[in-house]
Chain A
Amino acid sequence: MRVLSIYNIKGGVGKTATAVNLAYLAAAAGRRTLIWDLDPQGASSFYFRVKPKIKGGVKKIVRGKSELDDLIKGTDFVNLNILPADFSYRELDLRFAKEKQSRLKKLITPLKDEYDLIIFDCPPSISELSEQIFRASDLLLVPLLPTTLSLRTFEQVRAFLKNEKLRTVKMRSFFSMVDRRKKMHREILENFATTEKQHLAPYIPNSSIIEKMGIERAPVLDFAPRSVPAESFRALWKQVDLTLA
């Protein structure tokens, strides 16, 4: 079982769209996939039409009193299940702070025979929960906007991993919400990709099709499989899959 986290300190960079579409592609490739919507906003759950509600809330999960297995829901797609969000996830930081640093890793261990891939759709922050996520993950995938500020957040995450000696987790970035009509986007895209070794070349365009996920409540790959964003997600998944192997 491999664990992939879609993470950024910053919000609104396309984390959930990436998590949902990569989960769809992994499942379509035959991987038994679980997406855990860790964001109390519950956007992944919304896209998969699953109620953002967990029986017993976060308290029982963190203490190990609720079996994760019992909380998992099937999505409308084969091989793809979801552990929905819950509003109580806003307390995840507090709850994990009272536990060991590897608590999240321990929580998902019983699922290792059932799933080939777990994807964490992470909330935007750098906190106790983030540390738990880093310790539980094999790959941290960081969506970046092609802007100076966004690139700075990537450096912040890298510095954090280095300081905390979290060397077991790989980190890769990619550009999201790219508008090639903008000169700055084009320049950053070209410069950053050539200088940054941990960067994946495929990028996700800024597209109204991705925004339509909220209306269709499904991955782009499902309702617009031949669209440009769908092709971009496919190219990204290929790279991510290779990195995870």
Chain B
Amino acid sequence: MKLKHDRYRLTDNDSPSGFAACLKSLGDVDNAPARTVKTRFFDTFDWRLFDNKVSVCVGSGERDPQVSISNLASNKTVATIHSDLPTGFASDFPEGRIRDLMNGFIDVRRLLPRLDVTSRQTPITLRDKEGKVVLRIGVEKCRVQIPGRARTVALGTYLTLQPVRGYAKIDTKARALLQTGFALHPCATPLFIEGFKALGVCPGDYSSRLRLDLDQAMTSNAAARQVHLTLLNTMTRNEDGIAANTDPEFLHDFRVAVRRTRSALGQLDKGVLPAAVIAKARKDFRWIGQQTNQMRDLDVYLIDYPILRSALPNSYKSYLQPFQDYLIAQSRKESRRLAAMIRGKRYLRIRDNWRGYLTEGFKKDKKAVQADMPVKYLANDRIWKAYRRVMKEGGMIDNDSPAEALHAFRITCKKLRYFLEFFRNLYPPREFGKLVKSLKHFQDVLGEFQDTEVQSLAILNFGRLMALAGVAPTETQMAMGMVAESILLRQGAARSMFFKRFEAFSRSAVKASFAKLFKNKE
């Protein structure tokens, strides 16, 4: 059997000098002194790189830092750049193929440190008569830790082989010699996966998408509690990230979980959980949602700032700078307030009481008449009702409808969407997926309409606040006005597009599919 892999686990008896001696017959062997190399692996909070079978790490040894992007499926390095990741955003990568690649994976999200590997490396290079490196091997003893934490775990000692392109013969010969001389155990698993495993971290264990696995045989009550528990877990998972404010997406996911919870409390739980419990939880989660509104608004404008700026003529672009400065200052202030809220007594009490109720505190309530109903029946009932409401409200929207009517309709659509997401796995995926897609199609237009409405007003409001604070020169006020106008121009297009998309959603084929999947037979 040939040595096919490029990484092997070693025994304690194997020494770098032994490998160097073994390869001596093939050329000049450089056995450099051992050095310590630190490698930090990055991923987004929701493991976007890992989900795309990609790893990104920054290595720093004797030379300048070097970013490496690897494909986990092929275990090959896709790109290496002499650089660092100062912000963690895709803009850290050089323009062109690599940035496009990273944009595709992480979008607006930030790469956060996920794993540190400290290795004591002894590099051995094999050179030909010209002094050219024809094969690199390395012996490395690795320890891993979660960035910022003190605990380290030893991974073991490895032999790594790095063949050089165009020197296949020497590579084959070297592998044959190593195989005869040493007992090498291949490691097919990438180093960082082994590292996570040793630290008890499961990469990919968090996704922004709702992962619910409801059982057809469940009662409605059990299903509702599982929905709420999953959403509560999502909220809890994002708390540290919100407090540290390392990526706006922590707050985004937290807010989505709060919104879904409130939607479930309002529509799903009626007749399933006790009315008093629902009323209390609705009040509590409304409060939590309100606490996060201001920060999210600031996040959105900061993320969209380059787009807003691009709407201005070049000569006006610099005038917008005070607006960004103002957003950053407000965002810092608001972030501190939010961090205090998320660690505060009121929030923790709400969270822990809710978890306690969902896991242990639940008691049967006579008035909760639908509690023992099979979940499928409940799901059909809720989705069908929500769908009929969407059709009724959507049909009433016309060219003269005020923005408030479209906003209310958007919320109705969101409720239907949430129900579809909660109960996704109870239905045939193909037909179900088509319906979600058709709903999403016109929801996007509604979102664009609402965003333009809210954003244009918010920018005017920011202008007022900045003027009061004395940080908005006339030129900046004018530039902000131009930005607000450019946003409103998009609104008209969104409104006309809405009618087309809603018409498509109102087709009899879509209606028949909804009825087939969700209409309960009385």
Q: CB within 8 Å of B: which residues of A?
A: 28-32, 48-51, 71-74, 76, 78-79, 81, 116, 217, 245
B window 29-75: CB within 8 A of A: 66-67
Instruction: Output the nearest chain A residue to B130 by Cβ-Cβ distance.
Output: A49
Top 5 nearest A-B pairs (CB, nearest first) are A73-B166, A74-B165, A30-B81, A49-B132, A28-B82
Q: Among the listed A31, A50, A71, A81, which residue makes an inter-chain contact with B132, where contact means beta carbons less than 8 Å apart? A: A50
B152-202 interface (Cβ within 8 A of A): 164-167
| Contact A78 to B165, CB < 8 A, known contacts A29-B94, A50-B130 | no
Contact B82 A29 (CB under 8 A): yes
Seed contacts A28-B82, A30-B80; 20 additional CB < 8 Å A-B pairs: A28-B81, A29-B82, A30-B79, A30-B81, A30-B94, A31-B96, A49-B130, A49-B132, A50-B130, A50-B132, A72-B165, A73-B164, A73-B167, A74-B165, A74-B167, A76-B132, A76-B133, A79-B80, A81-B166, A217-B130
**Does B212 sit at the interface, judged by CB under 8 A?**
no
**What are 18 pairs between A and B in contact, CB < 8 Å?**
A29-B81, A29-B82, A30-B80, A31-B94, A32-B79, A49-B130, A50-B130, A51-B130, A71-B166, A73-B164, A73-B165, A73-B166, A74-B164, A78-B80, A79-B79, A116-B97, A217-B130, A245-B95
- Kindly list chain A residues whose C-beta atoms are within 8 Å of the C-beta of B166: 71-74, 81
Nearest A residue to B136 via CB reads A76
Question: In the docked arrangement, what's the CA distance between A28 and B67, Å?
Answer: 10
* A50 proximity list for chain B (CB < 8 A): 130, 132
Count how many chain B residues have C-beta atoms less than 8 Å from C-beta atoms of the other chain. 21
> Beyond A49-B132, A51-B130, A79-B79, is A30–B93 a contact (Cβ under 8 Å)?
yes
In the assembled complex, how far is the CB of residue B142 from the closest CB belonging to chain A, in whole angstroms?
21
B155 to chain A, nearest CB (A): 24
Q: Would you call A81 and B81 a contact (CB within 8 A)?
A: no
Residues of chain A within 8 A of B167, CB atoms compared: 73-74
Q: Specify the chain A residue showing the minimal Cβ separation from B98.
A: A30
A79 — nearest CB in chain B belongs to which residue?
Answer: B80
Per the bound structure, the CA–CA distance linking A116 and B166 in Å amounts to 19
**In the assembly, what is the distance between CA of A211 and CA of B412, in Å?**
74
A52 to B95, CA, bound (A): 34
Q: Are B131 and A49 in contact (CB under 8 A)?
A: yes
Within 8 A of A (CB), among B199-219: none
Chain A residues whose C-beta falls within 8 Å of the C-beta of B97 in the assembled complex: 116
Once the chains are docked, how many angstroms separate the CA of A11 from the CA of B186?
A: 52
A32 to B80 Cα, complex, angstroms: 9
Bound complex: CA of A71 vs CA of B96, how far in Å?
A: 27
Task: Report B-chain residues with C-beta under 8 Å of the C-beta of A245.
Answer: 95
Instruction: Give chain B nearest CB distance to A124 CB in angstroms.
Output: 25
Q: How near does chain B come to A166, taking the closest CB pair, in angstroms?
A: 26
Contacts of A30 in B (CB 8 A): 67, 79-83, 93-94, 96, 98
A116-B132 Cα distance, complex, nearest whole Å: 24
| Contact, CB under 8 Å: B81 / A48 | no
Q: Residues of B contacting A49 with CB < 8 Å?
A: 130-132
Q: Give chain A residues whose Cβ lies under 8 Å from the Cβ of B82.
A: 28-30
A81 to B165 alpha-carbon distance, docked (Å): 8
Closest A residue, CB atoms, query B96: A116
**Chain A residues with CB below 8 A from B132, complex form:** 48-50, 76
Within the complex, the shortest CB–CB distance from B444 to chain A, in Å, comes to: 33
Measured between alpha carbons, how far is A48 from B67 in the docked complex, in Å?
A: 23
The docked-state distance in angstroms from the alpha carbon of A78 to that of B97 is: 17
A121 to B165, CA, bound (A): 20
User: In the bound complex, what is the Cα–Cα distance between A21 and B473 (angstroms)?
Assistant: 48
Docked CA distance A76–B123 (Å): 14
Contacts of B98 in A (CB 8 A): 30
In the complex, chain A residues whose CB is within 8 Å of the CB of B80: 30, 78-79
Quote the shortest CB–CB distance from B26 to chain A (angstroms). Answer: 16
B165 contacts across to A, CB distance below 8 A: 72-74, 81
User: Which A residues touch B133, using CB under 8 A?
Assistant: 76
Q: How far is the CA of A104 from the CA of B10 in the complex (A)?
A: 48
Chain B residues with CB under 8 Å of A81's CB are: 165-166
- List residues 83-137 of chain B with CB under 8 A from any CB of chain A: 83, 93-98, 130-133
Nearest A residue to B80 by beta-carbon distance? A78
Chain A's closest residue to B127 (CB) is A49
Shortest distance between the CB of B98 and any CB in chain A (Å): 5
Q: Which residue of B lies closest to A74 (CB)?
A: B165
Which residue of A has the minimal Cβ distance to B162? A74
Question: Which residues from chain B contact A116 at a C-beta distance below 8 Å?
Answer: 96-97
Which B-chain residue is minimally distant from A245 (CB atoms)?
B95
Closest to A52 in B: B130
Q: How far is the CA of A31 from the CA of B95 in the complex (A)?
A: 10
B346 to chain A, nearest CB (A): 48
Q: Residues of A contacting B164 with CB < 8 Å?
A: 73-74
Closest to B166 in A: A73
Quote the shortest CB–CB distance from B495 to chain A (angstroms): 39
> In the complex, what residues of A have CB within 8 A of residue B93's CB?
30
CA distance A31 to B81 in the complex (A): 8
Which residues of A have CB within 8 Å of B94?
29-31
